[in-house]
Amino acid sequence: MSLRLAVLLYALLGLPATALWADDFFSNMPSYQRIASKCGADPSLPSYSASEYVTAFADAARATQDARKNGPRERVTAIQQLVDKLKECQAEEAQKFIPPLIIDCDGFGAQYRAFLSQAVNKIRAGTITTAYREQVRERYRQPAENCIRELMSGCIDPTKPSEIDRVERLVNFASDFGFIFTSRNETGLERFLTTTNPFFLRLKFCTDTDYACSGAAAVCATRTAAVKELLEIYIRK
Weakest-pLDDT range from 25-39, 115-129, 131-145, 146-160: 25-39
Say if residue 123 is exposed, middle or buried (CB neighbours under 10 Å; 0-12, 13-18, 19+).
middle
Which band of pLDDT confidence, cut at 50, 70 and 90, is reported for residue 39? Answer: confident
Predicted confidence at residue 25, as pLDDT, reads 56
16 preceded by a cis bond (ω within 30 of 0): no
Binning pLDDT at 50, 70 and 90, where does residue 44 land?
confident
Q: Write out 25-81 in H/E/C secondary structure.
A: CCCCCCHHHHHHHHCCCCCCCCCCCHHHHHHHHHHHHHHHHHHHHHCCHHHHHHHHH
Model pLDDT for residues 65-107, shown as the tens digit of each residue: 998 988 788 899 999 999 999 999 988 887 788 777 888 999 9
Give the chain's radius of gyration (CA, Å): 26
171 close to 148: Cβ distance less than 8 angstroms: yes
Is 80 exceeded by the pLDDT of residue 10?
A: no
Q: Which letter does DSSP use for residue 205 in this model?
A: B
Alpha-carbon separation of residue 124 from 99, 121, 176 (angstroms): 21, 5, 21
> Which pLDDT belongs to residue 26?
59
The answer to whether 195 touches 183, Cβ cutoff 8 Å, is: yes
